[in-house]
A and B are shown apart, each in its own frame.
Chain A
Amino acid sequence: MSQPKLLIDTHKLNLILKRFALQLIEAHGDFAQTAIIGLQPRGVDLAKKLTAFITELQPDNALKYGELDHTFFRDDIGRGEIFMPKKSHINFSTENLNIVLVDDVLYTGRSVRASIDALMSFGRPKQVELMVLVDRRFQRELPISPNYVGVVVDSRSTGEHVKVDWTEDQQQVWLLSKKE
């Protein structure tokens, strides 16, 4: 088994999030028509930190923030694993808004597909974009492509696994040779 590889440390994560924040400010202006939605479970931490960076860079923004769980829209319900839903919290209408979905790792694309379906149950957005910290682009099983990417992992091995360690003080993203 090869050694775990540190993909992102706290310093690099902050750089990536600042880049994301600037990219979003450039693309969405004052966010009057834009909402950032963190995907449960781990996209939420990332989305919260991102909104804090945006507010730091642009204090007068009209940014709307929500959290979305896609459990009821998964394509593998009843196929062995038991899924417990987390909270969806979107207290605004998504009708005609630009939505930025935020997640930690984009892998097969199936979670994002389910999340888009879950999002549509809150209304019909004008546009949906996807922001991910890690894009494992050669592992896709559905035609899903991110708009904003932190780092790209080009591994073709299905035995590898991206692990996100997220605590208050330290955030790290590791590439492991198998689930640990």
Chain B
Amino acid sequence: MTANAPIKHLLGIKGLSESHIQTIFETADNFKTLINGPVKKTPALRDITIANLFFENSTRTRVSFELAEKRLGADTINFSSSSSSVKKGETLIDTVNNILSMKVDMVVMRHPAPGACVFLSKHIDAQIVNAGDGTHEHPTQALLDAYSIREQYGDVAGKKVVIIGDILHSRVALSNIYCLQLLGAEVMVCGPATLIPKHIHALGVKVSHNLEEALRWCDVANMLRIQLERQDQRYFPSLKEYSRLYGLTMDKLNALDKEICIMHPGPINRGVEISSDVADSDHSIILQQVENGVAVRMAVLFLLGQQRL
């Protein structure tokens, strides 16, 4: 993504180096200054057309990308699988090639199949940004999470971050692990044994099945929701039991002898993985994450957009 190591696509955090990520963060700093000013737009990508292809539901990511694209001056087209010819049996490559024949330069894609973006990158010419592919990766979410930690603490290196919840079905967890480790953070995952992938130790992360223990260890707790839409079987007896054991409440926070920072990629299931008073408290930087998402995505699109020739 820099002049020294140009990359054409953002398919995942795996494939980026620490210097790529620092470049994205420094560029995002500039965009954050811009979008907090009176005029929030630049014409940087005015001659680019970006297609947002969402084969899966999304609120935050889709709106955040669209806002980032518009603030960079790009033309955007939005596509959702529910209202398209995908329903009529069209393949992914045919769908995308039809859109690209209308002179689209960049594709932002969310897809339920892990590896869909990598697959597409081998068959089309346009640049691809992965906005979440199944249970694989969600690189821009990991970037904005790490950027928010950096903003909160000044640096990510040396911080202890625990990711709590449904690690098994989470693309956010995998991208976060890659990104935080590249930046020098220590990572722990926490959740019921059934929702922690079997060989996750191989990624060099700590594992805990005890929320209180994990909270005592960490500086930052990133709460994930239970991804019921990806669960084909029961992984725990009841949501009530899950919430009692792994739901973050103010009582559990107050029992700590230190302040920790609470994050959540959204959407929040209040009362399940996080209580309302914690989500709305001063410990929480959930809305800062959303704000930073636009600046980080502007940085990614700007840096990739410079390399389209």
Which A residues lie at the B interface, using CB under 8 A? Answer: 69, 71-74, 77-80, 82-88, 95, 117-118, 120-123
The reply to whether A73 and B2 form a contact with Cβ atoms under 8 Å apart is: no
Q: Note all chain A residues with C-beta closer than 8 A to B41.
A: 121
Evaluate whether A120 and B33 lie within 8 angstroms (CB atoms) in the complex, with A72-B44, A82-B2, A83-B306 already known.
Answer: no
- In the complex where A77-B44, A78-B309 touch, is A84 in contact with B23 (Cβ < 8 A)? yes
Chain A, residue nearest B73 (CB): A72
* A88 neighbours in B (Cβ, 8 Å): 30, 33-34
B39 contacts which chain A residues (CB < 8 A)?
120-123
Contact of B42 among A72, A82, A122 (CB under 8 A): A72
Contact A72 B309 (CB under 8 A): no
CB pair A72 B30 closer than 8 Å: yes
Q: Which 9 A-B pairs have the closest CB atoms?
A: A72-B42, A121-B39, A82-B3, A85-B30, A72-B44, A82-B306, A122-B37, A77-B44, A123-B38
B2 contacts which chain A residues (CB < 8 A)?
82, 84
User: In the complex the two chains form, is B38's CB within 8 Å of A121's CB?
Assistant: yes
Q: In whole Å, how far is B69's beta carbon from the nearest beta carbon of chain A?
A: 14
| B6, B306, B309 interface centre (most CB from chain A within 10 Å) | B306
A78 CA / B72 CA spacing, docked (Å)? 13
Tell me the chain B residues, 55-86 only, with Cβ under 8 Å from chain A. Answer: 72
- Number of A-B pairs, beta carbon distance below 8 Å: 67
| Shortest distance between the CB of A120 and any CB in chain B (Å) | 6
A162 to chain B, nearest CB (A): 23
Q: Are A73 and B44 in contact (CB under 8 A)?
A: yes
Residues of A within 8 A of B43 (CB): 73, 117
CA distance A123 to B26 in the complex (A): 23
Q: Is the CB of B47 within 8 A of A78?
A: yes
Interface residues on B, range: 20 to 34
- Residues from chain A with Cβ under 8 Å of B47 in the complex: 78
Chain B residues with CB under 8 A of A83: 306
Query: Which of A80, A118, A121 has a CB less than 8 Å from the CB of B309?
Result: A80
Contact B48 A78, beta carbon cutoff 8 Å = yes
Q: Roughly how many angstroms separate A19 CA and B196 CA in the complex, as a whole number?
A: 70
Given contacts A85-B27, A87-B29, A87-B30, contact A79 B309 (CB under 8 A): yes
B104: shortest Cβ distance to chain A, in Å? Answer: 15
Q: Output the nearest chain A residue to B35 by Cβ-Cβ distance.
A: A121
Q: With A and B bound together, what is the CA distance between A173 and B10 in angstroms?
A: 42
- Judged by a CB distance under 8 angstroms, whether B307 is at the interface is yes
CB within 8 Å for A72 and B302 given contacts A77-B44, A78-B48, A122-B37: yes
Cβ contacts A to B, 9 pairs, < 8 Å: A72-B31, A73-B44, A74-B44, A77-B44, A80-B309, A82-B3, A85-B30, A88-B30, A117-B43
Q: Is B305 an interface residue (CB 8 A)?
A: yes
B287 CB to closest chain A CB (Å) equals 23
In the assembled complex, B308 has its CB within 8 A of some CB on chain A? yes
Most buried by B among A78, A82, A87, A117: A78
Check if A122 sits within 8 Å of B309, measured CB to CB: no
Distance A77 CA – B38 CA, assembled complex (angstroms): 23
Please name the residue on chain A nearest to B47 by beta carbon.
A78
Whether B45 is near chain A, meaning CB under 8 Å from some CB there, is yes
Q: A88-B34, A95-B38, A122-B37 are in contact. List 14 more A-B contacts (CB 8 A).
A: A71-B30, A77-B305, A80-B309, A82-B2, A84-B2, A85-B30, A87-B33, A120-B39, A121-B37, A121-B40, A121-B41, A121-B42, A122-B39, A123-B38
Chain B residues positioned under 8 Å from A84 (CB to CB): 2-3, 23, 26-27
CA of A82 to CA of B39 in the docked complex: distance in angstroms? 24
**In the assembly, what is the distance between CA of A122 and CA of B34, in Å?**
8
CB distance from A125 to the nearest CB of B (A): 12
Min CB gap B5→A, angstroms: 11
A82 to B305: give the CA distance in the assembly, Å: 10
A122 to chain B, nearest CB (A): 5
Are B37 and A77 in contact (CB-based, < 8 A)? no
Q: Digitize B87-128: 1 where CB-to-A-CB distance is under 8 Å, 0 elsewhere.
A: 000000000000000000000000000000000000000000
The answer to whether B45 touches A77 (Cβ under 8 A) is yes
CA distance A84 to B39 in the complex (A): 21
User: Contacts of B34 on A, CB cut-off 8 Å?
Assistant: 72, 88, 121
Cβ < 8 Å to A, chain B residues 171-186 = none
Question: In the complex the two chains form, is A78's CB within 8 Å of B33's CB?
Answer: no
Bound Cα distance A177, B271 (Å): 71
CA distance A122 to B308 in the complex (A): 29
- From B6, B29, B48, B72, contact of A82 by CB (8 A): B6
